[in-house]
Structure 1
Amino acid sequence: MRHGAWWQALLLALVTGFVMTGCAASADETKDEIVVAIVSNPQMQDAMELQDEFAKAHPDVNVKFVSLPENEARAKITASVATGGGEFDVVMISNYETPIWAENGWIENLQPYIDKTEGYDDLDFIGSIRNALSYKDDMYSVPFYGESSFLVYNEEMFEKAGVTMPENPTWPEINELAAKLDDPDNGVSGICLRGLAGWGEVMAPLSTVMNTYGGGWFDEDWNPTLTSPETKQAVNEYVNLVREHGQPGAATSGYGDCITRYSQGNAAMWYDATAMVSSIEDPASSTVAGKNGYAPAPVMDTEDAGWLYSWSLAIPSTSDHKDAAWDFVSWMTNKEYIKLVGERFGWERVPPGSRYSTYEVPEYRKISQAYAQPTLDAMDGASQESSMTHPVPYEGLQFVAIPEFQDLGTRVGQQISAAVAGQITVDEALEQSQAYAEQVARTYQREEGQ
């Protein structure tokens, strides 16, 4: 397809060796061995621990995992799939990659597998997530969990400080609260925000801030807007907030680090993915379980400001074990898996935001009273119409759904992270980012005859 060659040329240099981790015993000659590449977030680690259950149901399939931090996983999975490397039989991707890779023929159409798998029930997937993982009305990846974004806050800290969370907070209000709650002498930051470089790290929350301030990546004519007054204001306020009242070492702090800091009581607030609830509400690992309040994503000039995202599973077209791969994919994304996680690890740990039926399970409804509805509300409100001030020529909220964005977002993320670290100013970071975006924009402006 149009962008296939571009991705292959760009990503060929990324291909490196892969480290295999965790899994079943060595395969014998009678078994299909599949290699599954996943992101090492907590919910995915649970899936690895449950492999004994998969093995019982599928004794003829041996699974090996490649489990890596988000940035590394993205690079390795993309490099392999885009170049036809064939290392993986199952890959964890998102609603950013799915339609692009489907168009390029890099991943399998899963709809035929879905339709012949009794009880799988793809119509149970939350509608916005199902649509985001489809290409020409067929699903090409299926959700492990889905998410938008919201703000969590420690109710005990708020009560002690004598402050109240607004029902629909704005970013200036969050800044004021963070200043009052910041207590570095006792190891507590006013807020935790991602600062780690990466299009799926710092640029995910920051892009939603840019959107609600009226800025963003491109205007309707593909003119980059990274140096617009609105974008500059948004980025300056984000960077200043995390530098003044955020966690120590924020420039190297991503989603995983914020989970740890917030769940151990080292931050009063955290704006991030709604999927955080599986970790921060788990009493086995979180000291703040049951002590949290939830507010919508902070806004400025829009009604909403959340994102829409799904970690999902796909089967590369190069796999030689597609049927076995689907056995694993369908096991890890069906209703019974969610029940298994709840019974084995606790209902707080189930992967959220993928299936409507999850929110109807009595045990989950009971423990998720504080955050189930805020999660669903955030996912329902995640649209460009409600979260942006102007139309744009691309799909996506916290990303730009074009193949070049993985490289562009990574470069811009590096600039922003450097600003968070105090190595350069925000203006310098955005000037360089604008130059990167202009190179990408030319392609789309030529295609539209501008």
Structure 2
Amino acid sequence: MKIFFSLIFIIFNAIILRERVVAAEIDLNKKEVILSAAEQPPYLGKDLPNIGYAAQVVTEAYSRVGYKVKINFFPLARANQMAMQGESDGYLAIYSGNVSEADFLLSNSFPAGRFVLMKKAASKLVDTRTNKTDKSGFLKNISKYRVGFTNKAAIPPELVYADQSKKVIVNSDLEGLDMLMTNQLDLMLLDKLTAGDLIAEQRPQYINQLEIFASLSTNNFYIGFPKSSSKTGQLKEEFNHGLQILKKDGTIYKIMYNHGLSAAILPARGNTTLTIGTLNIASMLTLQKLSVEYQKKHPDISFDWRVLDEKTLRLRLLSDLAISDGQYDILTIGAYETPIWAKNNWILPLKNLSPQYGIEDVIKPVRHLLSLDNNLYALPFYAESSMTYYRKDLVANAGLSMPEAPTYNDIKRIAAAIHAPEKQIYGICLRGDPGWGANMALLTTMVNSAGGRWFDERWNPTIDTSEWRLALQTYIELLTLYGPPKPEEQDYAKNLTLFQGGHCGIWIDATVFASALLDPRQSKVADKIGFVRAPVFHLATGSKWLWTWALAIPKSSKTSAEAMKFIEWATSREYIQLVAKKYGWINIPPGTRSSTYEEMHYRTVAPFADAVFRAISEDDINNATLTPRPYIGIQFVEIPEFASIGNNMGRLTSSVLAKKISVDMALKLGQRDAAVQMRESKYIH
């Protein structure tokens, strides 16, 4: 009997022990850190890639030691309070001054940005220091001025002992910039990149009107762990260990680079270094590889390539211009930016091109996109219109045919027939990610075709109208009924991958993707793809876009002559021939030169050549809407404010896709916000 009870006791203990082991294993698998944070663009924010550089660093550091990270965004004071009260494990802060060291243990730091004092460009204030390390002289100078600070900012060492009598506390960085422009402040303390991004995105009318008075100390990110928590010591040490790994293996610097926050660390090879801001797309990466061929003939030249995604590149370049920072020698800019930047004297006119360049060979509408007052300001690297790609086999199997000039009703009918999500085949793929050059590129062409426009003849926004409602409702129905999951996250790169993998039935997007779709080395459905014109509602006018990515030289470049020689080479017939020789004619940068479409080798491998050449040649940026409008452009409006207005409408559209707001609400909010911007910029009263 004793033996029986002993066995029962042993078995019971074994079960309990096993349950504890399993529970411990489950707990180990669930190791998670929850942090509260306030948005701090361009370092931290819900709408940034990977929710920002700081979030990615923290996530990567903790992942190295077996943790998952969740970051919740709140207003500044609430984010701090959440951690203090134990509702989160810590507070992710850009400045140590945001965190009370009486209440928090601070992690090791990692780089954020640099403090600067901004001033109005027209002001006569001058930093009189001959020695930039002369803090006492600087303090005497600075104490004469009204200096704006926000409560959230730590005071950099240079200003700690400055006369506080003229210190002005402002509610936000944006309010401080506004006060500078209205002469209520002499100087404003900000993070340099934050200043540039705020101007670029929310106050485009200030571009080139504010500049850096003095560059100060660097600042840092920390995690503040509440001293009241029993987990604080372990979480701090685990993060510090993971961060050390990132610093040691160089991951942290790669993350900074990918977010456009630092230069590539490359050895200089020549006497002159050209710094190039460009896109992380295949054709630009090919240019980067083939630049070694240029260096063979120009050994005195070396390159600092800053290769970024489209949204980050646009923001970093415009932010650089906004505060007159002057980091770049060559800019990759588009049809939207070129005439605006030319008008503002930010980029150089490209005169005296060499005779062998053959400017008349560049397709006329593309030349017009890059010109102002008959002067060329950028050289086109590739150009595109838009068209409809479709799976011929899926359409045929459904007993249907795709018209050569489809309507959106045709597209809806065919997408419904071929949509088979259970087989991971989606009726249609469209850009859903927010941005004036992302979801709004297609949606604007839909609005044009429906008879709408962005503004009337007097610059009043026309967003909350029946034409916009038809376009937006159709777009939403197509993606929510027949598109892939989470359509609001689909960008052109994801759609390209889906289509190449055989998962899309229809895709309306740029003509430049034709080569990647028809290349059997990249596409599983290369032999099954058809292409026709972009769809229409009532009008063909403005129903397809016209775009070019081009190379320009900023006025601030100190190596403009060398930059000019390189961009001529990179956009020449000679370069196109070089790409064809190295990678095949199917992979050349298309859309720029008439001679490309006369080349039999290209026409042999590119059955879409005639359709693309026709689409680009017949686009008209001056006549893209049914009724008159005061602006130039097809899928964009050629004014500085459009980036902000278009991005805002893109976010609202994405919110409709995510079922957060209705179509009517998006149109009302878009109308209201556009009107506010146009009033602030003095277009309307």
Q: TM-score, normalised by structure 1?
A: 0.92
Partner of 1:262: 499
Give 2:288's aligned amino acid. M
SS of the aligned residue for 2:526 comes to coil
CA contact (8 A) 1:141 1:313 kept: yes
C-alpha change, 1:191 and 1:21, in structure 2 (3 Å) is farther
* C-alpha distance in structure 1 between counterparts of 2:444 and 2:211, whole Å: 24
C-alpha change, 1:163 and 1:229, in structure 2 (3 Å) is same
* C-alpha distance in structure 1 between counterparts of 2:211 and 2:431, whole Å: 25
SS of the aligned residue for 1:56 comes to helix
The yes-or-no answer on 1:18 pairing with 2:292 is no
Aligned residue runs from structure 1 range 25-174, under 5 A: 26-28=267-269, 30-112=270-352, 114=353, 117-174=354-411
Aligned residue runs from structure 1 range 291-330, under 5 A: 291-304=528-541, 305-330=543-568
**Residue segments in structure 1 that go unaligned for 5+ positions in a row:** none
The yes-or-no answer on 1:354 pairing with 2:597 is no
Give 1:75's aligned amino acid. L
SS of the aligned residue for 2:536 comes to coil
CA contact (8 A) 1:297 1:306 kept: yes
Could you say which structure has the larger radius of gyration?
A: 2
Q: Deviations over 1:16-52 (max 9, x none)?
A: 9634459xx6114x52111111111221122122222
* C-alpha distance in structure 1 between counterparts of 2:536 and 2:622, whole Å: 14
Partner of 2:9: none
Offset, 1:216: 2.5
C-alpha change, 1:144 and 1:235, in structure 2 (3 Å) is same
Partner of 1:288: 525
* C-alpha distance in structure 2 between counterparts of 1:36 and 1:7, whole Å: 21
* C-alpha distance in structure 1 between counterparts of 2:376 and 2:630, whole Å: 23
SS of the aligned residue for 2:356 comes to coil
* C-alpha distance in structure 1 between counterparts of 2:598 and 2:264, whole Å: 35
* C-alpha distance in structure 2 between counterparts of 1:219 and 1:47, whole Å: 41
Offset, 1:179: 0.5
CA contact (8 A) 1:198 1:413 kept: yes
C-alpha change, 1:416 and 1:212, in structure 2 (3 Å) is same
Paired residue for 2:508, among 264, 271, 275?
A: 271
Q: Deviations over 1:269-308 (max 9, x none)?
A: 1101111113212222122224321111101111241111
Partner of 1:216: 453
* C-alpha distance in structure 2 between counterparts of 1:57 and 1:286, whole Å: 36
**Residue segments in structure 2 that go unaligned for 5+ positions in a row:** 1-120, 122-202, 213-258
* C-alpha distance in structure 2 between counterparts of 1:345 and 1:21, whole Å: 26
* C-alpha distance in structure 2 between counterparts of 1:101 and 1:132, whole Å: 13
* C-alpha distance in structure 2 between counterparts of 1:155 and 1:342, whole Å: 28
Give 1:337's aligned amino acid. Y
CA contact (8 A) 1:347 1:363 kept: yes
Identical-residue share of aligned pairs (%): 35
CA contact (8 A) 1:18 1:66 kept: no
Give 1:86's aligned amino acid. G
Paired residue for 1:183, among 406, 411, 420?
A: 420
Offset, 1:434: 0.6
Paired residue for 1:394, among 631, 649, 671?
A: 631
Q: Deviations over 1:282-339 (max 9, x none)?
A: 2221222243211111011112411111100101111111122122211210001111
CA contact (8 A) 1:106 1:317 kept: yes
* C-alpha distance in structure 2 between counterparts of 1:11 and 1:206, whole Å: 36
Offset, 1:8: 4.3
CA contact (8 A) 1:278 1:351 kept: no
- Compare 152-161 and 354-363 and name the one that shifted more: 152-161
Partner of 2:571: 333
The yes-or-no answer on 1:7 pairing with 2:7 is no
CA contact (8 A) 2:278 2:332 kept: yes
Give 1:315's aligned amino acid. I
Q: What's the Cα RMSD here?
A: 2.2
CA contact (8 A) 1:301 1:389 kept: no
* C-alpha distance in structure 2 between counterparts of 1:128 and 1:10, whole Å: 35
Offset, 1:385: 7.1
Offset, 1:11: 11
* C-alpha distance in structure 2 between counterparts of 1:161 and 1:347, whole Å: 34
SS of the aligned residue for 1:163 comes to coil
* C-alpha distance in structure 2 between counterparts of 1:9 and 1:236, whole Å: 40
Paired residue for 1:366, among 575, 588, 604?
A: 604
Give 1:327's aligned amino acid. K
* C-alpha distance in structure 2 between counterparts of 1:31 and 1:394, whole Å: 44
SS of the aligned residue for 1:267 comes to coil
C-alpha change, 1:386 and 1:33, in structure 2 (3 Å) is closer
* C-alpha distance in structure 2 between counterparts of 1:99 and 1:126, whole Å: 17
CA contact (8 A) 2:205 2:640 kept: no
* C-alpha distance in structure 1 between counterparts of 2:357 and 2:564, whole Å: 12
Aligned residue runs from structure 1 range 230-245, under 5 A: 230-245=467-482
CA contact (8 A) 1:277 1:348 kept: no
Partner of 1:377: 614
SS of the aligned residue for 1:285 comes to coil
C-alpha change, 1:185 and 1:375, in structure 2 (3 Å) is same
The yes-or-no answer on 1:192 pairing with 2:429 is yes
C-alpha change, 1:103 and 1:384, in structure 2 (3 Å) is closer
Give 1:48's aligned amino acid. Q
Offset, 1:349: 1.0
* C-alpha distance in structure 2 between counterparts of 1:157 and 1:286, whole Å: 16
Larger strand fraction of residues: 2
Q: Deviations over 1:236-257 (max 9, x none)?
A: 1101111111122211111111
C-alpha change, 1:18 and 1:385, in structure 2 (3 Å) is closer
CA contact (8 A) 2:428 2:479 kept: yes
* C-alpha distance in structure 1 between counterparts of 2:390 and 2:638, whole Å: 31
Give runs of ≥4 in structure 1 deviating > 6 Å: 9-12
Q: Deviations over 1:387-442 (max 9, x none)?
A: 42211110011011101011111111111111111121111111111111112333
Partner of 1:418: 655
Q: TM-score, normalised by structure 2?
A: 0.61
* C-alpha distance in structure 2 between counterparts of 1:131 and 1:385, whole Å: 10
- Greater RCO between the two (CA within 8 Å, min separation 6)? 1
CA contact (8 A) 1:7 1:403 kept: no
Give 2:267's aligned amino acid. S
SS of the aligned residue for 1:216 comes to coil
* C-alpha distance in structure 1 between counterparts of 2:411 and 2:204, whole Å: 43
* C-alpha distance in structure 2 between counterparts of 1:197 and 1:374, whole Å: 29
C-alpha change, 1:124 and 1:153, in structure 2 (3 Å) is same
- Compare 307-316 and 278-287 and name the one that shifted more: 278-287
Give 2:304's aligned amino acid. K
Offset, 1:443: 5.9
CA contact (8 A) 1:194 1:253 kept: yes
C-alpha change, 1:187 and 1:17, in structure 2 (3 Å) is closer
